């Protein structure tokens, strides 16, 4: 399966999981020139920026580099500055790892 297709399927699985947990999905694949946020979800006054990683095997060097985290944080700053209604919301960064034939791993407050 192509990497892009696998990643997209993993993102849709993550969306379903967060919807089951009563989150409202605000954006999927929100792009800025500094980076992309896979999913932005909302529940109450908590805004969650979700990075989805699809893996075909258990071999993971470093699942999310510091550089990737900084890119997501910069994109988050751009999102918040262009959406002032969310300025006073709690912000959380989640990481969800999806592997075939495994239960998805959700790491809340991943960084």
Q: Which of 111, 92, 94 lies closest to 46, judged by CA?
A: 92
User: If 0-12 CB within 10 Å is exposed, 13-18 middle and 19+ buried, where does residue 40 land?
Assistant: buried
Our CA angle for 11, 13, 14, nearest 5°, is 65
**For each of the chain's 111 residues, which pLDDT tens digit applies?**
566 688 899 999 999 999 999 999 999 999 999 989 999 999 999 999 999 998 876 655 567 888 999 999 999 999 999 999 999 999 999 999 998 888 999 999 988
83 SS3 class:
coil
Q: Angle CA(9)–CA(12)–CA(15) in degrees, nearest 5?
A: 155
Q: Which domains does the chain possess?
A: 3-107 (3.40.1350.10)
């Amino acid at each position: 399966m192509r990497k892009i297709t696998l990643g997209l399927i993993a993102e849709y699985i993550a969306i379903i999981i967060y919807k089951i947990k009563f989150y409202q999905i605000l954006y999927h694949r929100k792009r800025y020139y500094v980076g992309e946020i896979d999913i932005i979800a909302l529940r109450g006054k908590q805004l969650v920026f979700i990075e989805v990683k699809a893996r075909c095997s258990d071999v993971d060097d470093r699942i999310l580099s510091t550089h990737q985290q900084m890119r997501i944080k910069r994109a988050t700053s751009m999102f918040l500055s262009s959406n002032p209604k969310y300025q006073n919301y709690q912000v959380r960064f989640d990481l969800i790892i999806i592997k075939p034939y495994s239960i998805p791993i959700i790491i809340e407050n991943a960084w």
